[in-house]
Amino acid sequence: MIEIKIPKEITEYKEKFLFGLTIRQCVCAVAALAVCVPLYIFGKDFLGDDVVGWLVIMIAVPIFAFGFFRYDGMPFEKFLALLYRQKWVEPQKRKYEELPVFWSCRNEISEDEIAHQIAEQTNKIRKERKKK
């Protein structure tokens, strides 16, 4: 009998485009080659093979990561955005702060006093208008 592999989750299925790679993986591989091959060919005369080799690796790895790396079903750019937000935008240690009770009472009293003063001034203005 012929056995056919069926993915467990249909949404995780990615269509293979070329050599068993998805379109995203092919585009990233071509982009990495388009950047790194000329860099190596033209850079080895100026910086030497070792330095250019390390430079090519440092440039190629992130480009390949955008095509091939997935973490918990997230593509690399979503993973980077989440990592950035977690490390720098949102604080890791949240400081517990409790406002003293009298502050809230003070704010309520001051708002009530302001409302009372506005009402008194409004009544004075109305009385003055009635007299005229």
Looking at residue 103, its pLDDT comes to 62
The full set of domain ranges for the chain reads: 9-78, 95-132
Task: Please give the Cα distance from 48 to 52 (Å, whole number).
Answer: 6
What pLDDT shows up at residue 64? 92
What is the mean pLDDT, run by run of 10 residues, along the chain of 132 residues?
Answer: 75 75 88 93 89 94 91 90 87 72 63 80 85 72
The position carrying tokens 């860099």 is 39
Q: Which of 18, 40, 39 is nearest to 29 (CA)?
A: 18
Q: What is the pLDDT of residue 40?
A: 92
